[in-house]
Amino acid sequence: MASKKELLEDVLSILTDSLGADIMGAIVATPDGQVVVSTMLKGNLSAEKLAAMSAAVVGTSERLSKVVEAGDFEDALIRCSKQNILSKKAGKRAILVVVVKSEANVGLLNIEVEDAIERIKSILGV
């Protein structure tokens, strides 16, 4: 039987394959910013820095959504001139962070990320 780490690596591999050339990298991290698994494919992306900063973005966004009574936090999409960063909770025990080219199809990204999150939740028992 495969370990949780191997199963999570498979989730990122499937996500990477489905997004093709648009994906720059992806990580599964803990809510406090520790890397669980990563596939940082292109450029000088640091999984550790991305995990830590994404955890901060998610935590701050959750608090902001409560302060302004906007409902439950869903995700944070940071759009930049060269790349976009999507950070989304994967249950209570993980965050999925995906970095894609700025011209990537956001609709497809959302569909593939939702599928990956369901698999992550299943693996982690969340």
pLDDT in tens, 55-83: 999 999 999 999 999 999 999 999 999 99
**Rounded-to-integer distance, Cα 101 and Cα 122, Å:** 28
Every domain of the chain and the residues it spans: 4-120
∠ CA(97), CA(119), CA(53), 5° rounding?
15
pLDDT digits (tens, 9 = 90+) for 22-34: 999 999 999 999 9
Residue 62: closest CA among 70, 77, 73, 53? 73
User: Token digits for 106?
Assistant: 């956001």
Q: Tens digits of per-residue pLDDT, 5-16?
A: 999 999 999 999
Q: Are 40 and 27 in contact (CB under 8 A)?
A: yes
The pTM assigned to this predicted structure is 0.93
Can you say whether residue 20 is alpha, beta or left, with left for phi > 0 and alpha for psi between -120 and 50 degrees?
left
> Which CATH number applies to 4-120: 3.30.1300.10, 3.30.230.80, 3.60.21.10, 3.30.450.30?
3.30.450.30
Residues forming beta bridges with residue 40, ordered by sequence position: 25
Q: How far is CA 125 from the centre of its chain?
A: 18
